[in-house]
Amino acid sequence: MYIDEAVFREIFHKFIYIECPDAIEGLADTLEIIDGATGVLAYCFCEDLVGTNFNLLASVRKDEKGKLVVGSRSSERYARVRFKDVRDYEFEMADELGADLSEYEDVPDDILHIFESADQKMTMLRELELLDGGRNLELPDFISIIVAQKGSLPEVVWVRTTSFGEDEFHGTLLQPPTQGFGLEAGQKVRYRAYKNEGEIVLILDSSMLS
């Protein structure tokens, strides 16, 4: 599967094998390239105001049994690449390939404290699977929601979600709907999650429409 086709929850805070044989030599200044390397071991996380990132940890290859052979850990502590840089490469979960990840047990906490949000609500929002159906894979804080008003066609808009209340979510509208509805880009909005035929639907609070 290509990274661009992944589900956010599938790769978020996970160690993955990115198969990138055409790019491996270009990483020689960052990683020690082992013989026969076909890709890299990376850890996926979300950086504030940047989005989905991957910290490159080591060059890797598969042995004859398909097990991942991991090279020496990068001397560069934070060798980050953005989603757009790797979106067209295929990936697999490192633990499913028998990779020994014991050397990297410190990575999740290290990344969390250095790059991820200090805002507890932002951290909780990223962990909330309820929003995954509308979540942007590259920019996980951007959630697509429905704007609906009686007598008009429903539209989908993007909201950078930053907080939540007891039964609602809050954020900033990134672009107004084409029908207007009295909404403007940059406006603070709120929306709620509803169940519809077994699926979660995210809908803007109709009291905000004019």
Consecutive 10-residue averages of pLDDT for the chain (210 residues) = 96 98 94 97 95 98 95 95 98 96 96 92 95 97 95 95 94 95 96 92 91
Report DSSP letters for 78-114, one per residue: --EEEHHHHTTSEEEEGGGGT---GGGTTHHHHHHHH
Cα distance between the two ends of the chain: 44
For residue 31, the model assigns a pLDDT of: 96
For residue 198, the model assigns a pLDDT of: 85
Q: Domain-by-domain residue ranges, the chain? A: 3-114, 120-208
For residue 197, the model assigns a pLDDT of: 84
Is the pTM here over 0.75, yes or no?
A: yes
- Report the distance separating Cα 22 and Cα 38, nearest Å: 8
For residue 41, the model assigns a pLDDT of: 99
For residue 185, the model assigns a pLDDT of: 96
For residue 108, the model assigns a pLDDT of: 97
